[in-house]
Structure 1
Amino acid sequence: MKKLLFVPLFALTGFAHAAPNIWQFSSTQGFVEYSIQDAKGNTLWVTCNEGAGDQYDHSARFETKKARYENTDSKYPLTFVLDGKNSVAAPGTTKWRNGANAWYEFSQGIAKAKKIDVYLNNKKVTTFTPTQQSIRAVAKEISTCQAMF
């Protein structure tokens, strides 16, 4: 009886973050989602269209316990400072030249960053410090998420 209860509980916990600052990933219906959470429960999500169809695009969003934030092609409330030196902002879509260029900078940088400062409307809201192992095992794959342009 204990084994039967353990398996469903284990399956449910696979989607939750067990510890902060560790990149996780999951995939479903043509999308791969990468996520990292801080100790306060804020989560950065990077979603890559890996076969969901041309009508869908990649995205990056930041979620707090109270709200969800995402850039559009004309408004950029989210900015990320990577390793204290590069400032990047993921576009709303990657199907245009500037959006594709911005996505490239974002995806290449976030895939190897050891420190990710998140700014919302030019105010720092959190910092993620991913473990080296989770960068090598998970986050590096974000760099393969090519713009749809």
Structure 2
Amino acid sequence: MSKTTTPETCPCGGPSLAACCGPFIEGSALPPTAEALMRSRYTAYSQKNEPYLLATWHPSTRPAEPIIDEKEAIRWLGLEVKSALRLRQRKVNLPDDPDSDTVEFVARFKTGGRAHRLHEVSRFLREPDPATGAPRWYYLDGSFPNKE
């Protein structure tokens, strides 16, 4: 999958916003996997959609202060999901928990005329939605691996 997007693609690199992250951000569907939630959160960051980011953040770690600075000129350039095989291999000796998952990614962005990379290993939990009781994924927290 391409690391950059064209106007036809979803900001996360998927086929199109309507066929990818759009239904999750609009609230007409729930992301079925932790990776789908992570991709939709990247898209929400690119749209400066703070309500979606807060709604998908686990209540135990959700920040009380604003997470988006409307005045900050930031342009999200692309997303690369790195996790599937490496993290599954790391978790081989851990008990399998279908209600928790980890996604490793690199997000590229530009601010102040400089390009940056955000390399994060994010943790997610699946719990019942307080309003509907339907199981849904939440972002819990993330760590930043050492540079390789």
Shorter-chain TM-score range: under 0.3
TM-score by length of 2: 0.24
